[in-house]
């Protein structure tokens, strides 16, 4: 299954390789910037220009949780490999670690001087990686919300970073 999100405010799942649309989800009020399956494959997370992060249940075909707390567009989202946490990166200069079970923000990661454009979890760890318009990448300990390292060297904004 392929998952996409677009400027049309919709996410879609597609059969692979035939390309048939399987499901479509609507509910965001602005463009979608990111989408990611829960490791179990039963749910997904989306991020949007409407400042929210949403959790969707595929069997119910609907949004089951809207996470609010960013003041500007949410630029990306990621699901932790354990399935209990979601991360979001925002144009407000922060990232958030959300506890899906308690439906609350566990930590707000502050330290970038520009938009945070992406966030990824290192699989099976307590480390997250952010990229920012401030031309840096940062590693975070998501158990404490503390930045543990900053990578510098880009001469233009960083739009995305990931682990191998």
Q: Note the pLDDT tens digit of each residue in 77-135.
A: 999 999 999 999 999 999 999 999 999 999 999 999 999 999 999 999 999 999 999 99
**Helices and strands, counts by H and E, the chain:** 0, 15
Print the domain residue range for 61.
2-151
Q: How many domains is the chain built from?
A: 1
For residue 110, is it within any domain? yes
Residue 147, helix vs strand vs coil:
strand
Q: Among residues 109, 105, 106, 134, which one has the least CA distance to residue 120?
A: 109
For residue 163, is it within any domain? no
Q: Are 56 and 25 in contact (CB under 8 A)?
A: yes
For residue 17, is it within any domain? yes
For residue 144, is it within any domain? yes
For residue 98, is it within any domain? yes
Q: What is the CATH number of the domain that holds 129?
A: 2.130.10.10
pLDDT of amino acid 73 = 98
Q: Which band of pLDDT confidence, cut at 50, 70 and 90, is reported for residue 60?
A: confident
Cα–Cα distance, 70 to 90 (Å, whole number): 7
């Amino acid at each position: 299954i392929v998952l996409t999100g677009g400027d049309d405010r919709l996410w879609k799942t597609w059969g692979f390789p035939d390309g048939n649309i399987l499901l479509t989800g609507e509910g965001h009020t602005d463009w979608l910037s990111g989408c990611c399956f829960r490791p179990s494959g039963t749910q997904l997370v989306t991020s949007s220009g409407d400042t929210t992060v949403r959790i969707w249940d595929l069997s119910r075909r609907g949004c089951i949780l809207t996470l609010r707390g960013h003041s500007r567009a949410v630029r990306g989202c990621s699901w932790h490999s354990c399935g209990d946490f979601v991360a979001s990166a925002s144009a407000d200069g922060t990232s958030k670690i959300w506890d899906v079970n308690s439906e609350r923000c566990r930590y707000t990661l502050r330290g970038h001087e520009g938009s945070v454009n992406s966030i990824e979890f290192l699989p099976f760890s307590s480390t997250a990686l952010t990229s920012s318009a401030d031309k840096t990448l940062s590693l975070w300990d998501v158990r404490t919300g503390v930045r543990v390292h900053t990578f510098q060297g880009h001469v233009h904004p960083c739009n995305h970073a990931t682990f191998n």
